[in-house]
Structure 1
């Protein structure tokens, strides 16, 4: 279960302007104050303090700041005097603060009155996130340039030929290549798919496992691959899940992930399922292809696997940054720390592997305010699904206020969206079993 963080609107006079963060290391705990929308710069913090401080786990912060004793003014004042304080230099000179700890939602006013015995330090420990880079429409070739620069800066690789040939990525298996070709060919169908599945023992076993899973609830027994594909699962689902397995075999889920985060493939399956449920409720004249909607959700975070492959040493640092800045989209942190994002890398690699344009373009544009092209509805559907899952505690990342125009552009009513979410929540047990099946296929 993910701990949701409501993103505060710092432009509103009714909201706090300063964020309170609890950090710790072997020497003890430290409280940090910085502007509410800023990113805590751990590199500067570590240099300034000479300590490798990390944010406490989200669930630990939730328990600590939700204590009954901290709900009173007296308890809040004791809190601010109980630990050493590190205050961002941009706040120097201020006496009164409106504070908020984002994980627990604890907010209170505090007046800075230096006690003789209290350890207080000021320093430049925050940076302003580059929202513009995330929200604007990417230009052709821009992603590859950014990836190349980041790879050359943070790894020993020197790009001398085509980028995808120098990254050390395993080659796609012949079965995977055939499935990608089918996924990209609108004329392909079950007659093309069944022979490919039959020739791959591992894939055949998985297809039969999916066909008898509780989530698909096929009536009667399933006796053959033909039956599993034609009667139970269908072309789109088998192709999409097969691609998901193939991608997982090419790149493993990194061991160094933010603590307490939702398991990678569980989040992928939930996002894919909700994208599909929402797509089916969109009017026919606006409806994106349901199968591609599912695949977009399944692979929406694939760039994170590539980050783990290319930037393994940096991924541990990125994870600590994400933990310390739960109010920021991870791609903002990636842009600041390594100058390239999972969305850029994932979109570029899936394009180089010849997946459908609707999929890789939507993944590349999932944070863009105004997505363009044939992927427009897929990108919006993905953005909506991620936010809805975060509200249910089923996905990681900050929670934003959804623009009502997003529903209108997709042709969805609030009741339809609520119904899709309710259907997914009611199927959690079956979806978790499907996720375990997929995870075992990647072992």
Structure 2
């Protein structure tokens, strides 16, 4: 092996396995590993190994030395043709951080396959039209369903319970208060029990005993928190959390609670003026930021399993691009569309739809940017799914936030880890 990496082209290592044994895929680092293409070209059902297994395998001491690296490259190799266009190349493995330098001669015996897809290639294959048109085409393509006059009627999603409809009306009414909320909570036994559980949670550290619904809502939790958590949990419970998640994924409700708690903290740290988002709507947006993931699992169960394998094989790749490749629709598109059809406030639906779009500058853009920031910060802590990336300074500036103060707020949130996990357990995971 050569030692000087310099400006060598980067290629990614992915360990795969099936009943026949191991194989090592090598493709450009910025490409999506196309598992379906591998299955067709090799006639083997090769699957990516678990992230923890990849860390253990590629973290072996022997791989720091030439003999161990040579042994690694003696595995069955599946290589993109681009590998042989360079005399030297850097091979990296994202889970373990392994980085080695190889020469093209070491890869000559590999099976040459079309392994990867770039972001532009994925984008070229996407259907045109607005979100409703894209969702309709995806449903027709990947299910036996045929679009009726109203797309909502086609999807077979459960209707909103009466209590949830009342809560949505209250959430959308700027004049609503606990006076209108408490009676709605009291007539729903399940919601009443949840509210009492939340109020008694150590996370909220209520002084004294919580003796009634009025006490829980008025003294401990407040209007915004009760209404947002009630909406979030009611909608989350309408759709089953899928069984075949990507291995090593952060649990759904843990992501939701951490994102909601951090996004609201960041919102309250922004300069106080007429342009600052409403903390309650920021909390709700973040609590529901991943709701479309549940919808994808509900609509496309056979393909959801395939989506999970692709996410495992491509930890560096944007989740929305992987979803476009597999389903032609993203969780942000379908989640925002459905919540819009259920009449949730526009800042919430816009934030969810645009949460990955740093360039979005339209209405309610600060809500979307807060979700972007909280999600990326939590990815760095292993508490939210998706690739870890550098957060641009311009994002902090556009929100009027100080990076150091944000880091301190994140540390404070992390220090409440046990209390947040207990709250998460009350919500569903």
Judge same fold: TM > 0.5, yes or no.
yes
Distance, in Å, in 2 between the alignment partners of 1:439 and 1:187 is 31
Aligned counterpart in structure 2 of residue 312 of structure 1, from 266, 283, 301: 301
Aligned counterpart in structure 2 of residue 190 of structure 1, from 178, 191, 205: 178
Instruction: Work out the number of aligned pairs and report it.
Output: 422
The corresponding residue for 2:59 is 66
Aligned counterpart in structure 1 of residue 206 of structure 2, from 210, 218, 222: 218
State how 1:334-349 maps to structure 2 within 5 Å: 334-349=323-338
Superposed CA deviations along residues 163-217 of structure 1, whole A, max 9, x for unmatched, are 1111000110000000011111111110010000000000000100110100000
The corresponding residue for 2:112 is 122
The corresponding residue for 1:8 is none
Structure ranking higher on relative contact order (CA contacts 8 Å, 6+ apart)? 1
Change (3 A) 1:221 1:35: same
Counterpart check, 1:235 vs 2:228: no
Distance, in Å, in 2 between the alignment partners of 1:160 and 1:16 is 50
The corresponding residue for 1:105 is 97
Superposed CA deviations along residues 291-338 of structure 1, whole A, max 9, x for unmatched, are 111111100010000000110110000000101111011110111122
Superposed CA deviations along residues 39-94 of structure 1, whole A, max 9, x for unmatched, are 1111110011111111111111111111111122332222112x110101233444
Q: Structure 1 residues 326-335 or 144-153, which shifts more?
A: 326-335
Change (3 A) 1:201 1:131: farther
2:385 alignment partner, SS class: coil
Aligned counterpart in structure 2 of residue 18 of structure 1, from 11, 17, 20: 11
Distance, in Å, in 2 between the alignment partners of 1:149 and 1:264 is 27
Q: Is the 8 A contact 2:292 2:335 kept in 1?
A: yes
Q: Is the 8 A contact 2:355 2:371 kept in 1?
A: yes
The corresponding residue for 2:44 is 51
Q: Is the 8 A contact 1:16 1:100 kept in 2?
A: no
Q: Is the 8 A contact 2:260 2:283 kept in 1?
A: yes
* Deviation for aligned residue 1:374: 3.3
Distance, in Å, in 2 between the alignment partners of 1:105 and 1:377 is 34
Q: Is the 8 A contact 1:276 1:294 kept in 2?
A: yes
Counterpart check, 1:426 vs 2:415: yes
Counterpart check, 1:90 vs 2:82: yes
Structure 2 gaps, min length 5: none
Distance, in Å, in 1 between the alignment partners of 2:121 and 2:280 is 31
Distance, in Å, in 1 between the alignment partners of 2:106 and 2:211 is 76
State how 1:113-262 maps to structure 2 within 5 Å: 113=105, 120-130=110-120, 142-262=130-250
Q: Is the 8 A contact 2:270 2:401 kept in 1?
A: yes
TM-score (norm 2): 0.95
State how 1:358-437 maps to structure 2 within 5 Å: 358-437=347-426
* Deviation for aligned residue 1:95: 3.8
Structure 1 gaps, min length 5: 1-11
4+ aligned runs moved over 6 Å, structure 1: none
Distance, in Å, in 2 between the alignment partners of 1:364 and 1:25 is 38
Q: Is the 8 A contact 1:97 1:110 kept in 2?
A: yes
Distance, in Å, in 2 between the alignment partners of 1:182 and 1:214 is 27
1:373 alignment partner, SS class: coil
The corresponding residue for 1:38 is 31
Distance, in Å, in 1 between the alignment partners of 2:141 and 2:84 is 35
Q: Is the 8 A contact 2:48 2:309 kept in 1?
A: yes
Q: Is the 8 A contact 2:267 2:276 kept in 1?
A: yes
Distance, in Å, in 2 between the alignment partners of 1:308 and 1:375 is 28
Q: Structure 1 residues 328-337 or 234-243, which shifts more?
A: 328-337
The corresponding residue for 1:298 is 287
The corresponding residue for 2:317 is 328
Q: Is the 8 A contact 1:92 1:122 kept in 2?
A: no
Distance, in Å, in 1 between the alignment partners of 2:64 and 2:33 is 25
Change (3 A) 1:399 1:14: farther
Q: Structure 1 residues 182-191 or 64-73, which shifts more?
A: 64-73
2:325 alignment partner, SS class: helix
TM-score (norm 1): 0.92
Q: Structure 1 residues 333-342 or 124-133, which shifts more?
A: 124-133
**CA-based RMSD:** 2.0
Q: Is the 8 A contact 1:130 1:336 kept in 2?
A: no
Q: Is the 8 A contact 2:315 2:387 kept in 1?
A: yes
Q: Is the 8 A contact 1:387 1:399 kept in 2?
A: yes
